[in-house]
Structure 1
């Protein structure tokens, strides 16, 4: 293995500095997500406490229990309140999982920044060494050569970020495809149950498929959040337009409190529509990232060609 030249060292130092700056932007975005997830988790836990209070009012002697007894619907009211309490607990558990995932992402980014060390000092030292080399060689284009080496290093760091964003996008698209398949299955069973009097077996199958699709869309959300972090430092308008909308953000608990077969069908249809729109946005993002990568390769080729011209002059 050949020894690293001052030119190589400068490019590596520039790449590390660019990487640090990009990770810092990503960490800021991840920190905002953690704060948002903390507020969400607190709100969901408060909902659990409220639902538990409603159940307790009906389980012990209270005005609510007496009134329900007089109306003759105590058992039904209690069943509904217990179901809502269970749904709130499930939602709160999902909120804690989302918070843990966001915190893990922030911790990963923070550790990556620490691992890079003092990139500014390393860059300054590499720059000084490269300047001494080219000036000692008497090159008339020494300053341009230093600038080219620095730009090549920055492009290397940018290339890493684009590749990581493309990987995160591919994972998200795969997760979305699986979720759409699960949703199609749920929609089929819902239609059968609604229009053909499916019976108990069909009802069980429908709710099993609904549960699977909800879990699948929860995985989509986690992938979207990771993708949003990876895109935070790229900044082009098509990238910034890819957001986790409010409707997509509640896919985790999309199918709580189902009151009728018609409501189930409507929610499945709405979810399918949102999933299709998301797929279209991800396809646009894919094209944008490919364009960015191609542009980076083109700039890198031009810089290398210019560097060779200067060295051979």
Structure 2
């Protein structure tokens, strides 16, 4: 009981420190926007000050402007006017600089407070874990209900991790499919090229392009299997009824003729259609995974709030 009393006091103190987090975050956003405006205004005032100083210098020196006002007989009067304007510009600039300095100091203070809040949050989580471990040892109905909720929360977090891993694996797989699609598109219309007399240059380019396709296909199998494994972990499957290996075995580029080119081209076209279909399918699966991830995030947040409340309220 004494242990619970001590923990409860520490939790209450930490929660008090964290209570101002929302206000500090909002204030930081406001002060950063204010600083941006102040910096822009300072640049403008600096340009204005430089202009006013240049006007004074022009009248004080032997410039054409100074000579002009001397002839008119009102140089001193104009010089006084320019000096007043330069002084006002200097005062405005100094005031803006001071305002920016004060805003920066306020921002620094808020950042220090935010750092302390983050530390309090970390400490709160540690204290909650300690209290939770004690509560789960209690042979009471309340402890059993808490244990069940804690198990549900852990299961949701595991599910979120598995969905995230599947999503990342799917992104990598889709990137390889996109690369394969670009490579296959670059090999289209080869038959026409040879008919027009591509010759040895055509054969060399084909060899290079098909070599790139082979390498990509090799990587594609790895990423596809990895994606399927990750999906299996979350009880989902991906039906990819396509053939992406049709290009292999048709590399007789030094003996090609119109018929061989036609066969290779047909294989390339089928593989391209398959890659595009697979890319679309993977995109649909990633969309579903993204939606499911958001749903699990919401469930986790609800469970965390309820679990935290039960732990804090327990005596």
TM-score by length of 1: 0.50
Name the counterpart of 2:78.
none
What's the CA shift string for 1:125-162, capped at 9, x where partnerless?
xxxx9686257497x63322111111111222222211
Name the counterpart of 1:253.
248
Question: Structure 1's 161 and 279: CA in aligned 2 closer, same or farther, altered over 3 A?
Answer: same
Question: Structure 1's 308 and 196: CA in aligned 2 closer, same or farther, altered over 3 A?
Answer: same
Contact 1:169 1:286 in 2 (8 A): yes
Name the counterpart of 2:296.
296
Name the counterpart of 2:144.
143
Cα separation, 1, equivalents of 2:249 and 2:226: 21
Contact 1:193 1:206 in 2 (8 A): no
Name the counterpart of 1:74.
none
- Note the aligned Cα RMSD (angstroms): 2.9
Name the counterpart of 2:86.
none
Contact 1:148 1:307 in 2 (8 A): yes
TM-score by length of 2: 0.50
Name the counterpart of 2:203.
203
Name the counterpart of 2:182.
181
Query: What secondary structure sits across from 2:187 in the alignment?
Result: helix
The structural deviation recorded for 1:225 is 1.0
Cα separation, 2, equivalents of 1:167 and 1:255: 34
Q: Which of 238, 243, 251 is 1:241 aligned to?
A: 238
Cα separation, 2, equivalents of 1:207 and 1:149: 59
Contact 1:165 1:230 in 2 (8 A): yes
The structural deviation recorded for 1:223 is 0.8
The structural deviation recorded for 1:194 is 3.8
Contact 2:246 2:268 in 1 (8 A): no
Uncovered stretches (5+) of structure 1, i.e. residues with no partner: 6-128
Cα separation, 2, equivalents of 1:286 and 1:194: 41
Greater radius of gyration (CA): 2
Name the counterpart of 2:80.
none
Name the counterpart of 1:283.
283
Contact 2:166 2:230 in 1 (8 A): yes
Contact 2:194 2:202 in 1 (8 A): no
The equivalences for 1:108-187 within 5 A come to 133-134=135-136, 136=138, 141-187=142-188
Name the counterpart of 1:92.
none
Contact 1:214 1:251 in 2 (8 A): no
The equivalences for 1:263-278 within 5 A come to 263-278=263-278
Cα separation, 2, equivalents of 1:267 and 1:224: 21
The structural deviation recorded for 1:196 is 2.2
Contact 1:242 1:285 in 2 (8 A): no
Uncovered stretches (5+) of structure 2, i.e. residues with no partner: 1-6, 8-130
**How many residues are matched?**
179
The structural deviation recorded for 1:205 is 0.8
Question: Structure 1's 306 and 174: CA in aligned 2 closer, same or farther, altered over 3 A?
Answer: same
Question: Structure 1's 133 and 184: CA in aligned 2 closer, same or farther, altered over 3 A?
Answer: same
Cα separation, 2, equivalents of 1:232 and 1:252: 29
Contact 1:242 1:282 in 2 (8 A): no
Name the counterpart of 1:116.
none
Question: Structure 1's 194 and 252: CA in aligned 2 closer, same or farther, altered over 3 A?
Answer: closer
The structural deviation recorded for 1:306 is 2.0
What's the CA shift string for 1:27-73, capped at 9, x where partnerless?
xxxxxxxxxxxxxxxxxxxxxxxxxxxxxxxxxxxxxxxxxxxxxxx
Contact 1:168 1:230 in 2 (8 A): yes
Contact 2:163 2:293 in 1 (8 A): yes
The structural deviation recorded for 1:303 is 0.9
Query: What secondary structure sits across from 2:186 in the alignment?
Result: helix
Question: Structure 1's 266 and 194: CA in aligned 2 closer, same or farther, altered over 3 A?
Answer: farther
